[in-house]
Structure 1
């Protein structure tokens, strides 16, 4: 693969043969052919500003380390900015648009740079400071948690939300509330404390929606 870098990144070439079958099997999805070509050639590409794009083996390790398949199952982590933000591609997309998010906040919505990965790499890749999301504010801002659809397993779900959110509502009260959705379960909590719990509950029951103080949806069920 030939890339015309405007800058001069530190390039480490891969030392082993990697084929498309190994890549697709490892990520359990069909990886875009251009990314496969990149991984066949590059082990790692690091730019002076800290942007670091992983080869296949490093990508596999980092996706496992940050549990991307659990907390951001629609995305693949393919790099980072050297400052705690991950660089991602969306699975099953023909565009290879670059997304980013704090590696400690994968349950929050991702942000797009609206540019193709390889165009970005060839033109001095950067995530501008003004483009970076204010994740700290998102994490400490008070949020509201709603049930917006009937959970997959009502009985288990009720037991778990009562335990995890320390709800005073009885089981029968919650059952009754489920007949009139949306139902505000809890408010004035932070994602710093409950973000991972909410994400895990949504992975299992796919029914929770989280709104911030501006009534913007931060987390929601998968359609």
Structure 2
């Protein structure tokens, strides 16, 4: 259950009823996750000080049409954005609770980062923007490095997928050059929880990688 008190620090909007939510679902020809419907009946979307925006019924149709979510992320719904060019996706399964984050230019769940396995829990914990995790000393966040330890069978294709999932700022050419001499540090100072989630997204490809300072 969403703790309404946890919403008190957000910018909220007038709640909507089942009829308005049903109308939005009908226009989009999908079903919203039950947990998302629960939120809309408390506040028709919200915005946090960190720039996180959860869409209400007034804009969710336009956002999904504009970014062609149904085409590029079939079976998913864009429910919000992080204010930094990334969208939050949820499965259109009514029982879905997992919240994913994907770059607006990619819009592919295969390259998504898991924000939370529980949408309601994420809201109750402050709807944190995982891209704005502050300095390790200030937040006691454990950091690690992402290290390539085995050759990539898929070459540049595999490396590009790793680059996109981890949002690595180094150019692909520099990464390719570095990957010729293993072990090679692809990225430094990643929050451990975020890195572990990204490895799950990579699936079998994660076998060529290692996280430093992680048991």
1:134 aligns with 2:136: no
Structure 1 residues 110-157: Cα deviation after superposition (integer angstroms, max 9, x where no partner): 221233112111211223237994346699479xxxxxxxxxxxxxxx
Match of 2:127 among 122, 125, 128: 125
Check conservation: 1:89, 1:99, Cα contact below 8 A: yes
- 1:113 maps to what in 2? 115
Distance 2:70 2:170 in 1: 22
- 1:80 maps to what in 2? 81
Check conservation: 1:6, 1:123, Cα contact below 8 A: no
Q: When you count helix as a share of all residues, which structure comes out higher?
A: 2
Gaps of 5+ in 1: 143-214, 218-223
Displacement of 1:28: 1.7
Distance 1:141 1:94 in 2: 42
**Highest Rg: 1 or 2?**
1
Distance 1:70 1:111 in 2: 19
CA RMSD of aligned residues (A): 3.3
- 1:11 maps to what in 2? 12
Distance 1:67 1:118 in 2: 26
Secondary structure of the residue that 1:43 maps to in structure 2?
Answer: coil
Displacement of 1:18: 3.8
The ranges of structure 1 where at least 4 consecutive aligned residues each deviate by more than 4 angstroms after the TM superposition are 14-17, 136-142
- 1:29 maps to what in 2? 30
C-alpha distance 75-4 of structure 1, shift in aligned 2 (>3 A): same
Check conservation: 2:34, 2:94, Cα contact below 8 A: no
Secondary structure of the residue that 1:87 maps to in structure 2?
Answer: strand
C-alpha distance 79-43 of structure 1, shift in aligned 2 (>3 A): same
Secondary structure of the residue that 2:45 maps to in structure 1?
Answer: strand
Q: When you count strand as a share of all residues, which structure comes out higher?
A: 1
Structure 1 residues 21-40: Cα deviation after superposition (integer angstroms, max 9, x where no partner): 31331232222333223334
TM-score calculated relative to the size of structure 1: 0.54
| Length, aligned pairs only | 145
